[in-house]
């Protein structure tokens, strides 16, 4: 399957790889419809010959060499606790992903197509408690597709955390870093991510206002402006925004902000798990002063400090 990144900055759209996981229950086979952001997908390949790793969880199928890079492969059905039909392996593919600067492959039963979907049509997964075989916390969003079907967007980063390959944290603030003052606005649909960023910014001296998505971020900007009006830049020192968020993504939020004369001189730093150069370039096009990959301690503190200093001159 060909993967390309052709979305325009500020379009408030995303492209998803639509893939399927089949479940066997008694004599019935059920089809689960899932998706992952194209920006996190390197390529989709047939299942390669794998080397098993003893002592690892059973959902790790093994490792293989992809152009001199050793990549672990996770069986998504096993990770989700699904009983696979015997016929599922026939069309199985491996989706090679990259996020948080980590490469990992995921075995799926079928890779169907690329879907372009507006973030407005993606509902946050907060209302999802549990499916029959998947903890609702592993779902980042849901959207309706044709024939009244629902596509679930999986939080594949949680798999990486389960493997112990990635533990979200920005670490301790450098002792030599000066303290700042003023307000920092943080946008992220993940409560965990917001807490990590909030704690780091508070260590730097900022008072933090939180928003759960781009639209909420615009509303919070209006609230801050109503307090300080034309003096807002003296108080609101920086905006830290995730990219993938329901209702309105970070790029669309940034475009709206930079096109608003009240806020266009407030610096924006993107903080995302998407670690490809294309997204970094899109961040710059949207008006971001920096693009960070979650959660890298030295990069976070140094870049935030650099951006704030530059805008204090």
Mean pLDDT of the chain: 87
The answer to the question of residue 6 being in a domain is: no
pLDDT at 97 over 60: yes
Question: Quick one: 42 and 139 in the same domain?
Answer: yes
Secondary structure class of 248 (helix, strand, coil): coil
pLDDT band at 205 (very low <50, low <70, confident <90, very high): very high
Question: Quick one: 198 and 268 in the same domain?
Answer: yes
**The domain containing residue 204 runs over which residues?**
183-312
Count the Cβ atoms, other than its own, within 10 Å of residue 20. 15
CATH code for the domain of 47: 2.40.50.180
pLDDT digits (tens, 9 = 90+) for 31-89: 999 999 888 899 999 999 999 988 888 889 999 999 999 999 999 999 888 888 988 88
CA distance 272 to 244: 8
Question: Quick one: 150 and 191 in the same domain?
Answer: no
* Torsion angle in degrees (nearest 10) through CA of 154, 160, 161, 165: -170
**Most confident listed range (23-27, 275-279, 284-288):** 284-288
CA distance 30 to 17: 20
pLDDT digits (tens, 9 = 90+) for 216-260: 999 999 999 999 999 999 999 999 999 988 889 999 999 999 999
pLDDT at 139 over 60: yes
Question: Quick one: 128 and 206 in the same domain?
Answer: no
CATH code for the domain of 241: 3.40.50.2300
> Among 127, 162, 197, which residue terminates a domain?
162
Can you point out the beta strands (E) in 242-286? 268-272
- Output the six-digit token pair for 225: 């402006």
Beta bridge partners of 42: none
Residue 172 DSSP symbol: P
């Amino acid at each position: 399957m060909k993967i390309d990144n052709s979305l325009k900055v500020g379009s408030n759209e995303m492209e998803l790889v639509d893939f399927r996981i089949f479940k066997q229950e008694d004599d019935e086979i059920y089809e689960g419809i899932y998706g992952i952001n194209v920006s996190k997908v390197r390529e989709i390949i047939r299942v390669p010959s794998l080397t098993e790793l003893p002592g690892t969880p059973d959902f790790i199928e093994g490792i293989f060499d992809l152009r001199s890079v050793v990549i672990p492969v996770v069986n998504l059905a096993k990770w989700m606790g699904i009983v696979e039909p015997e016929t599922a392996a026939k069309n199985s593919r491996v989706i090679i992903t990259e996020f948080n600067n980590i490469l990992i492959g995921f075995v799926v039963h079928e890779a169907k197509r690329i879907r372009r979907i507006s973030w407005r049509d993606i509902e946050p997964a907060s209302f999802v408690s549990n499916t029959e075989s998947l903890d609702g916390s592993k779902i980042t969003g849901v959207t309706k597709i044709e024939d009244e079907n629902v596509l679930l967007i999986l939080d594949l980063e949680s798999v990486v955390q389960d493997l112990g390959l990635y533990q979200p944290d920005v670490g301790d603030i450098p002792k030599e870093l000066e303290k700042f003052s003023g307000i920092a606005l943080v946008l992220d649909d993940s409560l965990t991510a917001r807490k990590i960023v909030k704690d780091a910014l508070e260590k730097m001296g900022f008072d933090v206002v939180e928003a759960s998505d781009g639209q909420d971020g615009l509303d919070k900007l209006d609230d801050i402006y109503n307090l300080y009006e034309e003096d807002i830049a003296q108080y609101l020192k920086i905006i830290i925004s995730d990219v993938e968020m329901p209702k309105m993504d970070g790029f669309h939020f940034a475009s709206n902000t930079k096109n608003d004369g009240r806020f266009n001189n407030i610096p924006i730093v993107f903080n995302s798990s998407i670690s490809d150069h294309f997204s970094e370039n899109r961040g710059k096009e949207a008006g971001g002063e920096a693009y960070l990959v979650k959660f890298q301690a030295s990069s976070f503190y140094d870049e935030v400090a650099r951006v704030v200093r530059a805008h204090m001159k």
